[in-house]
């Protein structure tokens, strides 16, 4: 099922087949093995734990096309993204 999800995700995003191989985009995600829900969990059970009960706090690193996008669980532009989000939703919330 995991392989099928990778294939579908890769194809739907136009980024290939979702495989780690020569010539692939190197879109990767690393989970935090020290997260309480992952401690002592190995192999497919770690993937199951992330997919069915995980959240953003389980993600340690993300690479897109081989470039680090998230490091130590934090996007390098996190503060700017949050500020722009609040700027965008502020007027919507004040009208509600």
Query: Residue ranges of the domains in the chain?
Result: 2-95
Residue 11 in this model has a pLDDT that exceeds 70: yes
**What confidence tier does 96 reach under pLDDT thresholds 50, 70, 90?**
low
Torsion sign across C-alpha atoms 90, 93, 79, 10: negative
pTM higher than 0.75: no
- For the domain made up of 2-95, the CATH class stated in words is mainly beta
Looking at residue 30, what is its pLDDT? 92
- What tens digit of pLDDT does each residue of 53-92 get? 888 899 999 999 889 999 998 998 999 999 999 999 999 9
* Angstrom distance (rounded) from CA 19 to CA 80: 32
First to last CA, the chain: 42
């Amino acid at each position: 099922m995991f392989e099928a999800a990778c294939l579908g995700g890769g194809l739907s995003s136009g980024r290939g087949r979702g495989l780690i191989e020569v010539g692939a985009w190197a879109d990767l995600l690393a989970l935090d093995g020290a997260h309480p829900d992952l401690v002592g969990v190995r192999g497919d059970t770690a993937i199951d734990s992330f997919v069915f009960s995980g959240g953003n706090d389980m993600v340690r690193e993300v690479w897109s096309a081989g470039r680090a996008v998230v490091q130590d669980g934090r996007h390098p532009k996190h503060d700017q993204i949050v500020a722009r989000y609040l700027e965008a939703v502020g007027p919507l919330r004040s009208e509600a």
